[in-house]
Chains A and B, each alone.
Chain A
Amino acid sequence: EAGVAQSPRYKIIEKRQSVAFWCNPISGHATLYWYQQILGQGPKLLIQFQNNGVVDDSQLPKDRFSAERLKGVDSTLKIQPAKLEDSAVYLCASSLFLVGETQYFGPGTRLLVL
């Protein structure tokens, strides 16, 4: 079974530029999550999708971050414009359903904002 795929693996941009990350969850997984992990901290949930609907986006900085999962499969996370403090690893995870399921994480995209 293929795991969660993410691209790109690394990205370096200057502040005020925009950037997009892509995630393809494990086939058949209904729930998709985007996390932000700052160095030395635990992952922080940004947004959670159930199929193509948003379940929780309470910690998503909506003035600059957006995410979509139009067909209920893959997803993109965008930052526009980026700030220095957005430097982090962006992790995508998926789970079969919603209720207390094991989450499977992708390798992450390491973003550096200069």
Chain B
Amino acid sequence: GQQVMQIPQYQHVQEGEDFTTYCNSSTTLSNIQWYKQRPGGHPVFLIQLVKSGEVKKQKRLTFQFGEAKKNSSLHITATQTTDVGTYFCAALEGSNYKLTFGKGTLLTVNP
């Protein structure tokens, strides 16, 4: 089945610094979703990317889908303590649109 690799596994930043997490696949992805999970919470949908080279922004968050649709990234500008959590990419596969999640990147922010 589909496998998505996420790096880094952990990232600790000072408040105000930028943060980026990367998601890579060995196969072409039909589309990719990003979720955020706060400590002790449940995953919350952030965005879906479908088109090759697509870039979407949500305030300080910028999401990119690679030209070859094999990688994606999430960039946070000027992190805040409210950004703390684990960020997951998830690839949709197959005719059943099954979501396969990466292992996530845990972001901690030092105030």
Binding site for B on A (CB under 8 A): 33, 40-45, 48, 55-56, 58, 91, 93, 98-108
Contact A42 B103 (CB under 8 A): yes
User: Provided the pairs A100-B48, A104-B45 are in contact, do residues A42 and B98 lie with their beta carbons within 8 angstroms?
Assistant: no
Residue pairs across A and B with Cβ atoms less than 8 A apart, 21 shown, are: A41-B104, A42-B102, A42-B104, A44-B101, A45-B100, A48-B96, A55-B96, A56-B94, A56-B96, A91-B42, A91-B43, A98-B96, A98-B97, A100-B50, A100-B97, A102-B33, A102-B45, A103-B43, A103-B45, A103-B99, A108-B42
Interface residues on B, range: 20 to 34
Known: A45-B99, A103-B33, A105-B42. 20 other contacts (CB 8 A): A40-B103, A42-B90, A42-B103, A45-B98, A48-B96, A55-B96, A56-B94, A56-B96, A91-B43, A93-B43, A98-B96, A98-B97, A99-B97, A100-B31, A100-B48, A100-B50, A102-B48, A103-B43, A103-B99, A105-B43
Are B96 and A43 closer than 8 Å at their CB atoms?
no
B contacts with A: majority SS: loop
Assess the B101–A43 pair: CB atoms within 8 A: yes
| Choice from A40, A44, A58, A107 contacting B42 with Cβ under 8 Å | A107
A105–B44 CB distance below 8 A: yes
Which residues of B pack against A, CB within 8 Å? 1, 30-31, 33, 41-45, 48, 50, 88, 90, 92, 94, 96-104
Q: Are B92 and A100 in contact (CB under 8 A)?
A: yes
Return chain B residues, CB-CB under 8 Å to A33. Answer: 99
